[in-house]
């Protein structure tokens, strides 16, 4: 924190107008970061929830003779497909959050230069 105060003081002393313009964008970046963090946290929670369900379902005898014997293959396939789809959606949401956030920051960085 002490270094940040020193940097702020030096920036204000060198060119206070430019320093204020630079500091004016910090709330926008903080808000975008909060939105990004919330989206990614939610998607990673969903990934951590869906991933064990995939492994448990696959390990519980997906190709068992019992499934074939009682003609439950279609139902097991549909259940696994639902679990897999929720896992995939959570990953896609995380990837989208990263793509949007970093592209926005990169655009903003280029806009300032």
pTM of whole model > 0.75? no
Q: What is the pLDDT of residues 49-79, one digit of tens each?
A: 877 777 676 666 555 555 555 666 777 778 8
> Read out DSSP for 46-70?
HHHHHHHHHHHHHHTTTT-HHHHHT
- Counting Cβ atoms within 10 Å, is residue 44 exposed (0-12), middle (13-18) or buried (19+)? middle
Share of the chain above pLDDT 90, in %: 11
Q: How many residues does the chain have?
A: 113
């Amino acid at each position: 924190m002490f270094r940040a105060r020193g940097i702020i003081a030096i920036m204000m002393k060198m060119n206070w107008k430019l320093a204020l313009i630079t500091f004016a964008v910090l709330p926008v970046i903080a808000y975008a970061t909060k939105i990004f963090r919330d989206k990614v946290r939610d998607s990673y929670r969903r990934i951590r929830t869906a991933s064990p369900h995939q492994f448990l379902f696959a390990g519980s005898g997906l190709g068992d003779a019992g499934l074939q014997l009682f003609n439950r293959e279609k139902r097991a396939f549909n259940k696994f497909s639902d679990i897999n789809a929720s896992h995939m959606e959570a990953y896609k949401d995380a990837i989208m959050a990263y793509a949007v956030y970093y592209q926005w920051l990169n655009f903003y960085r280029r806009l300032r230069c």
